[in-house]
Amino acid sequence: MATIAFLGLGNMGGPMAKNLLAVGHLLTVFDLVEAACAAVAAEGASIAASAAEAAESADVIISMLPAGKHVAGTFLGEGGLLAKVSTDTLILDASTIDAATARQVGEAAAELGIDFMDTPVSGGVAAAAAGTLAFMCGGSAAAFDRAKPILEGMGSSEKIFHAGPAGAGQVAKAANNMLLAVHMIGTSEALAMGEAHGLDPAVLSEIMKASSGNNWSLQVYNPWPDVMEGVPSSNNYQPGFMVDLMVKDLGLACEVAESCGVDNQMGKKAMAAYSAHQAEGNGPRDFSSILEWVKAQ
Ligand code: NAD
């Protein structure tokens, strides 16, 4: 079992840290919000007064922070953790951030001989609580071999992938979420068109699931209310995965595309649609509520 410093105990980090405790790891945790630390301490973690204090005696550091600036601030520069930890520390950043910052931290760590991986997740709050997250990892093969047994405490072993070198995890995450946005909008358009012609959206969904339009949104996350039980569309679009986070991820995907000269036209259209939907006050709602925006066009 490992001694782990866990930094960032929000909607995702809190349940991920609890799952690591449940499989027997020793955790010292730090978050800017005291109540977030207390909730994980109630399950057996120690609370540190700073990220540096949490990292002092840790074999592994896991961060789950909002954005690239928080990750850079935590690890880089004179006061950053890279300058403080021993070279045998394994660092796993599970936050969804820009690939450029992930590469920068990965390269700075490699220069010091420290194993760093960007390990963003897919699955959302429900999978974080259930311990069934997917992880897409960027870094060396040796770091991946060290990381996998730790990540298995928070995710499904068959969904832990080595995507490539530092930054590759973030590129994979951006690619996946861009595709998710595009097929959620496409699914919504197909259902809205069928329903406007008098088809039952539940019947049309079954037809498309059995045909070449089959996709994840139809299989497990149907955006049409009351076609499927237990999904956000059947619960007034309570998240789930918020529109705000989809806009964030599409912004990161557009940066990734631009930085390599790929003209991601569908991704940009999805970004415009989700941004317009967000501007109408839907940021905190589930991303499948884009169906309402599609119907209103
Ligand atoms: P959140 O806002 O609920 O939690 C972030 C936590 O980080 C907060 O508790 C905050 O106090 C803490 N924090 C901020 N700066 C810090 C610092 N310098 N040191 C220590 N703690 C600090 O966010 P979340 O929903 O848990 O998401 C975390 C990351 O996971 C984000 O990058 C997000 O894009 C990604 N993500 C979220 C979901 C989701 O469904 N919520 C799904 C996949 C990926």
Please provide residue 4's backbone torsions phi and psi, each rounded to the nearest 5 degrees: -120, 135
Please provide residue 42's backbone torsions phi and psi, each rounded to the nearest 5 degrees: -60, -20
What percent helix, strand, coil does the chain show, rounded to 5?
A: 55, 15, 30
Rounded to 5°, angle at Cα 276 from 230 and 279: 85
Tokens 């068109």 -> residue: 193
Q: Tokens for 265?
A: 């036209």
DSSP E strands in the chain: the ranges are 3-7, 26-30, 46-47, 60-63, 90-93, 115-118, 121-122, 133-138, 155-164
Q: Which residues of 115-131 are buried (b: 16+ CB within 10 A; e: fewer)?
A: bbbbbbbbbbbebbbeb
Please answer whether residues 73 and 80 qualify as being in contact, where contact means their C-beta atoms are separated by less than 8 angstroms. yes
Tokens 């950053």 -> residue: 80
The fold of the 171-296 domain, in CATH, is N-(1-d-carboxylethyl)-l-norvaline Dehydrogenase; domain 2 (1.10.1040)
The finding on whether 51 has its CB within 6 A of some atom of ligand 1 is yes
Tell me which amino acid residue 103 is.
R
* Predicted local distance difference test score (pLDDT) of residue 58: 98
* Predicted local distance difference test score (pLDDT) of residue 40: 98
% the chain with pLDDT above 90: 98
What distance in Å separates the CA atoms of residue 159 and residue 119, rounded to the nearest whole number? 12
pLDDT tens for 227-277 read 999 999 999 999 989 999 999 999 999 999 999 999 999 999 999 999 999
Sign, Cα dihedral of 161, 168, 114, 45? negative
The fold of the 3-166 domain, in CATH, is Rossmann fold (3.40.50)
Q: Where are the domains of the chain?
A: 3-166, 171-296
Ligand 1 mean position, distance from CA 157 (Å) = 23
What distance in Å separates the CA atoms of residue 288 and residue 230, rounded to the nearest whole number? 13
Q: Which of 6, 12, 30 to mutate to test the pocket of ligand 1 (most atoms within 8 A of CB)?
A: 12
The finding on whether 96 has its CB within 6 A of some atom of ligand 1 is yes
The helix (run of H) or strand (run of E) holding residue 252 is helix 243-259
Task: Share the mean pLDDT of the chain.
Answer: 97
Residue 124 has pLDDT above 90, yes or no: no
